[in-house]
Structure 1
Amino acid sequence: MPLPSLIELCQQLRKKLQLKGTEILEMIGSSGEKLCLRKYDLQDPQKLIQFLLDAKIGLIRLEYLEELLSTGRRLPRRQEADGEVTAAGLPALVLPSELQKVEIDPIGNMSICVKDPSPHRVTVVIESISHAWESMEHPDPHGFQLDQIIQMCPPVTSTRSVWLFYDFTSLYQYGGRTPQQKRYFKQALDQMHTLYAHEAIKVRILDELTPETWKHPGTVMAFSDQAGGVIAVSIDQLTANSIPYLLRGWCQAERQWSRLRISLEACVPMPPDLFRRKMEEQGLRFTHHDDKEAVLKLQAQVFTEKVRTTKQLMAENLDEEALNTLCAALPFYVDLDEIVVNGNVLPRNAAVAVANTNARSFQMESCGLKDEDVEVIVASLLHCNKVEELRLARNDIGHRGLQALRELRKAKPDLYIDVQLDDQEARDGYSLNASTEMTPETAN
């Protein structure tokens, strides 16, 4: 959520309605106690496109940002960006007509057909930038974030377009907004989490502030109330904000939303109670004290909505902290069909947490599981009413583990179990070849 936009919203609501920050979330989201978060599904790419159109969000062409950097310019506000074009004559911001032409294949890939220089299909990549505002008037006065964005994002090619959401340039900002622009801003604000939690968006985290060696005297175009418009302002006259990204409450909320994905790599989204505790421990900062409860409530609702609709979950490269977070988060995934944790060394509590998800398919290959771990996994799966597949290849499973799997197989005759043990002596009637599977035909 853009920092200046949040300030403005708080000021407007407090002035007109005398609301506290803890009430703002209900006000901007719905007339009841809960936000209407489900207006835009967080899995369906078509719903994302519809949201972008409804709120008239201006996605920025990556090539436009490259041209800004190469000429020493800075990111403009949305109002000014609307009139900008690239060197090739394209609008700096993606047109609604282009969004309407985006096609989505059965696995969610987006593309668009272009005619120049000859008709061909171009893959569309949509990414969101989560960042700290380094001054109230302009988020990136030194252009450091601009440079980082260009380095992070995949390059534009003849077969790939990259469209970016960056709040300052994508949303109509404070100062001289028309009534219609205010309505579009409000629409975007109501569903801001969609731009970070949607499955079809890749989120780039800019968690580093501009290094001192990057800073130089200069001016930046910023809105001035006194001048009644955008003017050149000396950088040293801006209202600077040097609080680190990781200590900003709204930034942390965006970071958590970005982790709400089918594929988890090295990080796991925190359930609400854990997020609250971490916020307290880290002493996260807010422009207004009351915003803390607004962030907590919104994080809880977005987390709950996304995990309850997640059918597949794949986690890799999880360290001890991430595994502990996974244990806390998994009970909220109430409708999983498949869970894959291959390659993570699972402590017993994590193995049990995975087995307790009541999924249809479990994959725990190369997880360092031993006999005792397999026994507790089996104890959990005996109560799983829809399990059909269990893959435990390349674990350290011995006689006791195999015996437990045999009992599980007897209790669930249709269950497919794949252990793929290395060549060893036969144990308990099983031939432990390089690939041993217990199927309905072989495990009796």
Structure 2
Amino acid sequence: MQEIFTIGLSNHANHVVTHFFNEQESHFDYTGIGKSDLEPEVFFREVKTGNYVSLTPRALLWDLHGGIGKLPGSQRVSAESPADPDFSLDSDFKVEKIVQPPIPESNYQKTLDENKPVFSVDDTKFWSSYSTMIFDETRIKCLEKWENDSGNGHLRSAESVKFDDFTVGADVWKDEGQSFIDNSFRKELEQSDLLDGINLIVDIDSAWAGFGSQMLQDIREELPKKTILGYGLFQKEVNLKRTISRIHGFLGMVDNCSLVVPLFQTSESLYESSAVESVVVSSINGLFNSKAQDQVSMTQFVDSIRLNSNRNIIGDVFWDDKLLSGPLCPGKINNRNQYVYSRSVIHRGKGPTNKFYSNFDYLKSQGTSSRGMNQYNVSPLGQPQTFPQIVDNDVYVKLDINTKPRQDLLNMKDIVKRYVSYDEREELVDHLLSLAEEYEYGFIDED
């Protein structure tokens, strides 16, 4: 059986990961795992403790200090920074050790341990507080020098230094990356017999974008041909400085991921926004471990929507009639008529498929290849107790590769030409123009 593991980079990403694995766990039939409507070994691996066997997610998670909370079960992450081996007390400075009070276990985790779980939205500040699964503690990493906050985070020793720029994250990876690749990443690979691909969920509008881009380059050196499905988490609005950072982070994903799915934050609450985003993640990944007839591998899914082209950016992401993607870089280029190269629709429900939603007949009349129109039917979306009440019927997730990325890439090019330093400007402009050409179709009207 194929295996897929998931990497979460940022507090926001880990909320999405938590919803995803909670949804997966809701399909388990504990009277006999073989009765479940999915293949658990795709996203989970067995952990044996004595005579007891449990399942843990195939996941590698990164967060900032103060963002993890108290992990359920026996999982623990140090709340204090590791000792600096080069630090000496032989100095004139007064050293004050600040020990933060321990984070209490959430009420949900307490009641879950008693097999009488009681959930409340008050238990959602930390993603670990409402996780129904126990993650492998050796696969959860913390950037101890950086503090989680209501924004993107800041340096613990200097609050004015924000964790919000691509270059900051890239520099942090230089310090942290090799150890992660040598230990956690390769250990996860060793525990996979038949790795099909990797889910990477990363916050693009923070320093995690630079951290993730550097990570992707190193992963590509390890696994040059493996499928990597990237989910980029975007904020609704960013200023000019962070737009330039966004461009670098987005290109890092496009250059190294097999497919890029942009998702825009829908709520100030990470718990609520990540739940919406997880519907897309869960629905796509539901194809890869479903026992239904429409099961496909991650590689097959990506190939079916890319159609042997270099186009790997999803232009539109819909959940039912809700658009979850958006303009990545607003500007003067705005193509009103979008051509759809390929469309994949995932139906999660027991009722008959609504063909009107797919609208394949219209696409065919506009020239879309029948090879690029794919309809999948998988098991209904699981709704664990921890999931907000936002799903009341069948779920349809629609993914289009269309000409929309062209306008974003050209608008990015304009910003780079005006605001990026000369030493990197020319190479970036050429790269953006080359990518934009992949999304041209027919007569181009720039007006």
TM range, normalised to the smaller chain? Answer: under 0.3
**Structure-1-length-normalised TM-score:** 0.27
**Structure-2-length-normalised TM-score:** 0.27
Q: Report the structure, 1 or 2, having the larger strand content.
A: 2
Higher CA-based Rg: 1
